[in-house]
């Protein structure tokens, strides 16, 4: 190779090396899942992690499950341990807002950085297969006779299924403060309790119970949507004369103290991931309704939903 050609080649290589790396290159994402394995946040976090890698938005994704207190324990660990980390993400959603309203957390969600709302899902109420009850009407009749005798099992205190149970009680003329709600740290624990007949009626996102409903191990009573879910042969509460509708959205936050540029990069990563084949497949499989929202619109949504949930919980006698 002639000397001048060699020098030009080296200069060109040096110029390429000096270019800034794309936002998606070789990023190792740390995903905080503030719940035990087996529940909705866990499923969402791992589906998002797979989508981040498949889309090329992240090279690796590591997961940290920290369950308890409707996500408040995981939130505290995330807020205290991830300051300024532009590669850290935390799964969260309506359940966390409800838990923060009912509990006394050591940290605030406002300390972390809003990134995106991903999806929405409605709850389903189910009976164990060997339950003496057959319908939601049976459950409600027992609830009216003796509120404490009906054990409602579900996620943490303040979860959407907890709020829905209180709303059902209020709607049918029962004091919501008298409902017997048994909170579990994660979807896996709640599922085991329902299958074991340790609770009267269980509630969760439809995707978490779908396989057990299909296998006949749980009997679906009602969904909390306004109209029936696509492809799901389960009546709504409204159809059964109980005017209760409540959804459960999920999203992701970034670490406290990240820069505007870091927030933008994380947002772009999420936008890239949700277009991937694996994310679309996970959404269809789990009956998630796409509900993407980012930037100031997501910030406002969280503030508004926090206020709306608090008002609903006050009205339902939960706080």
**Is 18 contained in some domain?**
no
Evaluated on CA atoms 42, 109, 155, 310, the torsion sign reads negative
Residues 115 and 36 in one domain: yes
pLDDT band, very low/low/confident/very high, at 167 (cuts 50, 70, 90): very high
If one counts the domains in the chain, the total is 2
Eight-class DSSP state of 79: H
Note whether 137 and 233 are same-domain residues.
yes
Same domain, 153 and 88: no
Secondary structure class of 303 (helix, strand, coil): helix
Q: Of 180, 215, 240, which residue sits at a domain end? A: 240
The domain of 184 spans 122-240
Is 187 part of any domain?
yes
Closest CA to 288 of 119, 159, 91: 119
Q: Kindly tell me if the per-residue pLDDT of 20 is higher than 60.
A: no
Is residue 256 one of the residues assigned to a domain?
A: yes
Measured between alpha carbons, how far is 6 from 158 in angstroms, rounded to an integer?
68
User: Which of 22-26, 174-178, 234-238: highest mean pLDDT?
Assistant: 234-238
CA 27/CA 25 separation, integer angstroms = 6
Rounded Cα distance between 49 and 275, Å, is: 13
Q: Answer with the one of 240, 271, 303 that is the final residue of a domain.
A: 240
> pLDDT band at residue 4, thresholds of 50, 70 and 90?
low
Are the CB atoms for 104 and 76 separated by under 8 Å?
no
- The answer to the question of residue 82 being in a domain is yes
Residues 6+ apart with CB under 8 A from 192: none
Span 268-296, pLDDT tens digits: 999 999 999 999 999 998 889 899 999 99
Q: What is the CATH number of the domain that holds 52?
A: 3.40.190.150
Give the DSSP letter string of 130-176: T-S--SHHHHHHHHHH-GGGSEEEESSTT-HHHHHHHHHHHHTT--G
DSSP 229: P
Number of Cβ atoms within 10 Å of the Cβ of 259:
11
In a domain? residue 275:
yes
β-strands 218-223, 113-128: how paired?
A: antiparallel
Is residue 222 in a domain?
yes
pLDDT, tens only, 224-242: 999 999 889 999 999 999 9
Q: Are residues 84 and 100 in the same domain?
A: yes
135 and 216: one domain?
yes
- Do 139 and 212 share a domain, yes or no? yes
Question: Does residue 254 sit in the same domain as residue 233?
Answer: no
Of 156, 148, 150, nearest to 102 by C-alpha is 156
Q: Which of 191, 215, 240 is the last residue of a domain?
A: 240
Helix (H) or strand (E) holding 221: strand 218-223
Q: How far apart are CA 16 and CA 249, in angstroms?
A: 43
């Amino acid at each position: 190779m002639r000397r001048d050609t060699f020098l030009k080649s080296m200069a060109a290589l040096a110029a390429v090396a000096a270019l800034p790396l794309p936002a998606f290159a070789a990023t190792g994402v740390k995903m905080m899942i503030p719940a035990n394995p087996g529940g909705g946040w866990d499923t969402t976090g791992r589906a998002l992690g797979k989508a981040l890698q498949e889309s090329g938005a992240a090279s690796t994704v590591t997961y940290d499950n920290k369950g308890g207190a409707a996500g408040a324990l995981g939130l505290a660990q995330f807020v205290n341990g991830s300051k300024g980390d532009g590669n850290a993400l935390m799964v969260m959603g309506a359940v966390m807002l409800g838990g923060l309203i009912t509990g006394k957390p050591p940290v605030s969600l406002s300390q972390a950085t809003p990134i995106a709302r991903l999806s929405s899902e409605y709850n389903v109420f189910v009976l164990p297969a060997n339950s003496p009850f057959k319908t939601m009407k049976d459950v409600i009749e027992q609830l009216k006779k003796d509120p404490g005798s009906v054990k409602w099992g579900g996620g943490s205190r303040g979860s959407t299924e907890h709020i829905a149970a209180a709303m059902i009680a209020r709607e049918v003329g029962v004091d919501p403060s008298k409902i017997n709600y048994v909170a579990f740290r994660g979807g896996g624990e709640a599922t085991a309790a329902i299958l074991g007949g340790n609770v009267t009626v269980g509630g969760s996102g439809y995707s978490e119970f779908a396989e057990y409903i299909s296998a006949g191990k749980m009997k679906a009573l009602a969904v909390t949507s306004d109209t029936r879910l696509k492809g799901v042969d389960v009546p709504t509460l409204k159809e059964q004369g109980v005017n209760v509708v409540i959804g459960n959205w999920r999203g992701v936050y970034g670490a406290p103290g990240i820069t505007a540029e870091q927030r933008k990069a994380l947002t772009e990563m999420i936008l890239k991931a949700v277009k991937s084949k694996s994310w679309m497949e996970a959404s269809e499989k789990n009956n998630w309704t796409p509900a993407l929202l980012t930037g100031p619109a997501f910030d406002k949504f969280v503030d508004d939903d926090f206020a709306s949930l608090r008002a609903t919980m006050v009205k339902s006698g939960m706080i």
